[in-house]
Structures are given as C-alpha cells and as structure tokens.
Amino acid sequence: MLDKNRWLNKPIIQIIIMIAGALVYLYLALWLQQHAQQLEPHQIFGLEIPCSIANGVVTQLQMLIAVSLVLMGGKKFFILALCLNFLSLFSSLMYVFRSKSIDSVPGILSYIGVMIIVLLIGTYKRRIKDQVSILRSQESELRELAYYDGLTGVLNRKSFINELNQQLKFSSEHDRKLYIVFIDIDDFKLVNDTLGHHAGDHVLQELAARIKSELHVSDIIGRLGGDELGLIIRNDVEDSRIKSCLKAIHGRALQPYTIEDNDIRATVSVGASAYPDDGITSEELLKRADIAMYQAKMKGKSQVLFYSEINETDARKALSEGSRQSSYGARPFLEKA
C-alpha cells in the first residue's frame, strides 16, 4: 500500500491521471449533449437500452469520475473536479433554457448534489491535512523535548549518553579512537548570583553555539548538567587535531558575552578522556573526563587537561574519592566503582 501511494504521488503520474480523467469526463459530456434529445433506444452489445437509462448511466459515470478525482489527489484534482462538474451543470442549464424542457432537471439536481459532495470532501480532506500538520508539529515538539535540551538546543544528558554508547560500540567494531570532553563554565554560580539567571542562560546558550561552530559535523555535543557541556569527538581523532580543536573551543569561550550592551567575560575548564586508552565503557570514560575537568579547575581553572596528563597519584585519589569537593557538589559520573 505504501509503495502504491508513493507511485501515485509522482507528479508525472498525477498529471496523466488528471488528463485522462478530464478527457473521459469531457467525452461523456459530449455524448450526453449529442444524445440529449434522442428518443430511440441505444444499441449496446446487442441490447436495447432506453435513452433515459443510458443518459442516467453516463451521468453517474461523470459523477464517479469527479468524486474519484477529489479522493485521489490534492488541490489540483479538487479544482479539476469542480470545473468539470460545473461545466456539465452549466451545459445542462443551457439545454433547459434553450429547449424549454424539464428532461434535464434530474441531471441538474444530480450535478448540484455532486458539487456539494465534492466541496464537502475537499473541506474534509483539508481539515484532515491541517490536523495531520498539527499532530506532526506536536510530535516534533515532543521529540525535541525528549532528546534535546530546551535552553541550548543540544542533546540532553540521556540522549548524549545513549549516543555515546552507540559510538563506543561502533568504535569497538571498527577499531577507532574516540574522545569524550567535559566543558564547565568557571564560577558560573557567580554569574547567576550577580547578573541574574537570564545572564547565565545567555552565556550558556552562546557558549553552546560557539562550541558547535568549532566542531566537525560528525562530532556530538550535549548538555550534561546546569553549566556543563559534553562532547563526543569522533572525526579525525589524531592527538594534534584534538588538542587544536579544544584549544580553539577554549579560545572562543574566553571571548566576551554581550548582554544588554554589557560585556561579560567567562572562562571554562575542559577535561578529556580517550577511548580505549582511558577506558572502554561509557561510565569509565565519563568519569575520567569529569576527573580531568575537575583537576583543571584545581590547577587554576581556564585550562584544558587530558586524563592521560594527570599524574597517577592524583588520578588514583580522585577515583577513590568518587566525588568532588563541596564547592562543586556531588557528580553522578563520580560514583565509587
């Protein structure tokens, strides 16, 4: 059924159907005009068919074509059906006026009835189309709410982790490297407390947009927490390229954020972990990227730090603690193993 509908929706097929339907309809209309005053029965396949019956059958065929055109197509078919039916109605009215006969009155009433039916079908289809459009719009909005962060427009935390698991599976099957990156705005609470949450929201939105502009189209960005963004970098994951990319992101983050003609400056701390060097599961990689970011903050903030750059003692201590100091709060990715 789907293949059939797709075939009928092709423009060339619709044009052929419209032309064929119009030609058959007009042929029947001409036949009616030629035989309108005929009293002798028609010979069809050796059978004598009374003229009134033959005319009635032809009229019904015309109506069937008009209704079928409306049901099969869109606006073009609807207009064509109206025009053809109006042509027949007008022709029948002219015949009545010229002949002063009421023989065509039943046909006229039938044409009027079909005109009403065509209009009702067209109105019904238009309303159905509007309802479908509304439902699709609502479905799109629900999908956005389910998979994307409402403030920044990037993936939400759940979608980001699901995407990470898929990418890890792909990387494992194809022996490819992958980088997980955490980006956290330094002293973000201070921005909210001094300038208001609208300022903090603006900084977060602008930061997400700047980061996206630095990423490859195949890289992935998501919002993992209040002021924390996550990246999955999977394209051309050479160490030099990753460092260059993160350096560019860090530089863009340092540029001022303009809010109501005021420039706000903010810094970010960046931590990164690599698959499979730093872990093979999403939990391990997220935890190690989070630790690297935490260590970047501890070293003075506004830094980019890879988990592999952390000395073994600090890394072991962070893993054993399983949480950050109270100033950063408990982190879901730092649960004890």
How far apart are the C-alpha atoms of 27 and 36, rounded to whole Å? 14
With a CB cutoff of 8 Å and minimum separation 6, the contacts of 242 are 179, 233, 272
> How far, rounded to the nearest angstrom, does the alpha carbon of residue 48 sit from its chain's CA centroid?
61
Residues 289, 271 contacting (CB under 8 angstroms): yes
Ramachandran quadrant class, 323 (left: phi over 0; alpha: psi -120 to 50; beta: rest): beta
AA identity, residue 206 = E
Helix, strand, coil abundance in the chain, percent, nearest 5: 65, 15, 25
Rg (C-alpha) for the chain, rounded Å, is 36
With a CB cutoff of 8 Å and minimum separation 6, the contacts of 293 are 182, 183, 184, 269, 270, 271, 305
Catalytic residue IDs: 227
Query: Exposed, middle or buried: residue 310 (CB in 10 Å: 0-12, 13-18, 19+)?
Result: buried
Residues 272, 242 contacting (CB under 8 angstroms): yes
